[in-house]
Each structure stands twice: as C-alpha cells, then as structure tokens.
Amino acid sequence: MTADRRDPVVRTPYGDVRGTYEYGDGDGHGDRIAVFRGIPYAAPPFGPRRFRPPSPPEPWSGVRDAVAFGPTPPKPPYSEAFARYLSDPVVPGDDCLNLNVWTPEPGHGARLPVMVWIHGGALTRGSSAVPVYDGAAFARDGVVLVSLNYRLGVEGYGLFPDAPPNLGLRDQLAALEWVRESIAGFGGDPDRVTLAGQSAGAISVGALLAMPRARGLFRRAVLQSGPPEALDRDKVRRMVRRMANRLKVPATAEAFAAVDRSALAEAQAEVGRLSSPVLGGPAFGIVVDGDLLPTDPLEALTEHGAAPGIDLLMGWTRDEHRLWLVPGGLQERVDRLGTVALAGARARCHCGPEIPRAYRELHPDKGVADLVGRLVTDHLLRVPLHRVADARVDQARSYLYEFAWSSGLPALGSCHALELGFVFDTGDTSASAKLAGEHPPRDLATALHSAWVGFVAEGTPGWPVWDHTHPVRVFDSPDDEPLAFGPYDPELALWAADARRPRRVQGGGTFVTSGGGPLPALRRFRRSP
C-alpha cells in the first residue's frame, strides 16, 4: 500500500482522528481509499476496569493519529506447529479495545454499505491486525470495512463469582454501538451494516443475532465456519479453576487481576494445551447468562424466531478439520487408531454407534482421520447452520456456500480459515500464503470476494436463496459445477434420525449419549493452537 501525504480527518463522538490515504496497487495509482487504524471504541480494560464491562473512552482534544494498528489484547502465542500456518501479530499496549476503518469516501453524505468484521481464533487468539484481514479490497469495491479487537481468553470469557460473564461479547456490542454512532462520518450508512465473522467470530455473530440488546445495530449477518452456540457454564468454570490451581490463586476475578498478564497468558496456554475443536477438551466460550444473552443462540434462532428479518450468508470449508489435525502430525496418528478414534468421535458428538458406521458407508474412500473430522465438523458446524437456514425460510433469506478449493500446501486440503485470503482478496500476502501456498487462483478470489460484497451491498451473493431444494454454492476450480443441491442431505438425515433415537442406560431410563471429552489414546498427542 502506498500512502498519500494529504491526510483524511474524521470527527468521532470522542474526538477527531487522522488517517491516511492509500492505494491498493502500491504504486500511487488506482483507487484511493482512506484508512484509519487503532481508533479506541472503549477505554483500556485494565487497572480498575479489569474484568469489568467496557466503558467509553476518554475524549481527547486536537486530532488523534490513527495510522497504525492499535494494541492487541493479551493472548498466548500459537504453538510452533500452528504458527507455521497462522499469523497473529502482537502490538503492545493497554488501549486494546480499538478498531480500524477502510473507506472509499470519508465524510457525511456517502451512505455506503458497511461490513463489521469479527476475527476468529477460538476466542483466545487473533486480532484485527492480522494482515489477511486488510480491508482495502472491500473499500475498493464500495464497502466501508470495520474490523475490531475484543478481549480474549480468560480476560474476555472467564466465569468468576465477582465479575460479569461474556466480557469479550460485551466489547463487540460496544464496538457495534460505536459504529452506529460514528460510521456516517466515515461515509458509511448506519442502517446498512452487515455483521460478519469467521470461526469464533461467527460464533460471536450467532450470539449477537440472539442478543436483544444488539437489535437494530446490523441489518445482515455472515457466519463463516462457526455455528450459533453457547458453552456449558461448568465447562468454562473448570477452565478457570484449572488456571487458578496452576497459578495458586483463588478462582476470582480479583485474584486473576493481580496476576501479571504474561503469566496469565502462559497459564491459559498450558491449561488449554489439550483442547481441539475435533477432539474436545477444556475451552473458553460464550455462555448463556440470563442478562446479555438470555437464551442459547442456536435455540433462539431455530425455535424462538430471534433476529427476524435479518438475512444470513453462511459458509464452511470442505475440510475444516484438516487445520486441527495436520499440524503436528495428528492426522496420521488418528488414522492409525482406527476404530478407537471413531469411538472417540462418537463420544465427542453425543451420538449413537449408527452414525460412525453410516459415515463409513457414505464415504468408503476416506481414511479414519477424515471420517472423524467430517463427522465432528458436520455435528458441530454444518448441521447447526442447516438447521438455522431451515428454521428461517419464512422469516428471512439465507444463502449457503462451501469453499472447496484445496491448498497448495501438503495435506491441508480446503482447511479451516483457508478461504479468508479469498474473502478479503489478500491472497498475495505472505500471511495468506502460509495456508494457501503461493499464487492462489485470482478468479476464485474474485468470485468469493464479489459474493460477499454483493451480499453486504445488495443482500444477495448471486445464487438462489435457501429453500426445500437446499442450494449450496460451491467455490472450487472453474471447471466444477458451482451450484449443488442438498450435498449434505444424507448426513443431515442421519443426524436427524439419531436425535430422535433414545438410548438405554444402566439402571433404566433413557438419555441422549453425553460425553465430549478427549480420546484417552490421543491425550499425549494433542496440541492446541
């Protein structure tokens, strides 16, 4: 990106900010966009504000420079195995509740569509400073792009007796309220906001869809590779207690606030070392709190008619699980475990033995690791997203897609997060190449990015709306059929039948199989991001 010496200045409710003009082609030509980085939307969440809900930033006088990414929230680094594939820059400092704006036309009167981006990272890692999330292509195509930071891990999602829950989610709500108040000054239309997220960001979007306090703050939503869900409160409490035991402090917010941030992040990384989306284990997550989030998001959207009239774009990658199994060689280890791994997947998915057997029959060409990965991905992701689309046919439009292009790197396939460089049209960055390899197909990036732009700007990505035929747009090579009808219907039928099947337990009575812990045989092999 090439900067222009003339600087754009925009007034916000807390003071004026000065950004920079940049050019997407890097040589001073082409479409000029204005970029503002590191704008605070809430006060630093430290000192007396630690483990407290976000509060407004202190107003400033004069003009504040907004030319560099602001501080990132405290977080542990990725393990060496995952750092090969995922970039996660760290910017030191306290003022970590900040956001960035890319706009083609700063100033009141433009009324352009807006996309607010919530990054992924298992609610423990990531930030808006990841180079893959550069918003220049969206601004180039007439969309104001806002990306934001929010508190992560125990700082954002710990459950304590002396602090409110879901602090990271409260941060996201505060950022949306800032957008509502401020985005017109950047050329955006506060009534044309699309909320979008990937992985944990999509889970956050699902919670915001179900949240009464978020109504009216966005008009459309995108959920990529993440379902609406809430974690069991006891599971999150166990994570906090394990950290407390390791730190030798009480499991209270007051005690955790007295711990050095680096020590807290180190303890969190160690306690979460055995976590994996495929294999389960301890984790932080959004919880139903009876206040901010009164109902499980999936239940709210499928049974209670939450977020009426909000159209949805929902997608996944064909081989989501490969990102969690390939680093560190876990894919090969799961293959060697055979039926033991399938039994563990059954426990992880709370299903009967019929499901793994049926998956073997449906996919006889797949190895055990891919069967386990697909089974768990369907249970955790594809089935909930299909349920949401089916439940909302009469109240809003839904569009579903699959990203199926395979990475140029060995064994990754079309893994989790691979599509992001295509969504943001940042495939030429080194951060994107860590997952995709060199020279990913430009035509595919144009197609997927244009679909998102079309949905944000006009409410349609360019293929049929979801109905009883279950249309799914497939993004792969140009030679493939782009639209499939019901490609996962056989698997969906299995899960629907399993949900209706009671199972006997010793001592009488019926229940739906519980579980979700890690496979004992894999515990010594597991590595978290």
Nearest residue to 65 (alpha-carbon basis) of 108, 24, 7, 104? 7
pLDDT at 522: 42
Question: Among the options 321, 386, 416, 449, which is catalytic?
Answer: 416
Question: Among the options 147, 182, 199, 406, which is catalytic?
Answer: 199
- Give me the number of domains the chain comprises: 1
In a domain, 64, yes or no: yes
User: Does residue 514 have an active-site annotation?
Assistant: no
Residues 6+ away with beta carbon under 8 Å from 283: 122, 231, 235, 236, 239, 272, 275
In a domain, 352, yes or no: no
HEC per residue, 61-125: CCEEECCCCCCCCCCCCCCHHHHCCCCCCCCCCCCCCEEEEEECCCCCCCCEEEEEEECCCCCCC
User: Does residue 416 have an active-site annotation?
Assistant: yes
b/e sequence 381-416, b meaning 16+ C-beta within 10 Å? bbbbbbbbbebbeeebbbbbbbbbbbbebebbbbbb
Look-up: residue for tokens 């202190």? 58
pLDDT at 523: 40
Nearest residue to 417 (alpha-carbon basis) of 307, 249, 529, 512? 529
Residues 6+ away with beta carbon under 8 Å from 507: none
pTM score, whole prediction:
0.93
In a domain, 361, yes or no: no
Give the range of the structural domain holding residue 59, as residue numbers without chain letter. Answer: 2-320+381-489
pLDDT along the chain (529 residues), means of 10: 69 97 63 95 97 97 97 95 96 98 89 97 96 97 98 97 98 98 97 98 98 97 97 93 96 96 93 76 90 96 96 98 90 87 86 92 94 94 97 96 97 97 96 96 96 98 97 85 93 91 43 32 43
In a domain, 498, yes or no: no
In a domain, 270, yes or no: yes
In a domain, 254, yes or no: yes
In a domain, 439, yes or no: yes
Both structure tokens of 320: 């989501």
pLDDT at 3: 44
**Segment holding 193, helix H or strand E:** strand 188-198
Task: Enter the DSSP assignment of 326.
Answer: T
CATH number for the domain that contains residue 167: 3.40.50.1820
In a domain, 339, yes or no: no
pLDDT at 29: 53
Question: Among the options 22, 155, 320, 402, which is catalytic?
Answer: 320
User: Does residue 199 have an active-site annotation?
Assistant: yes
CA-to-CA distance for 40 and 98, rounded, in angstroms? 4
Residues found in the chain: 529
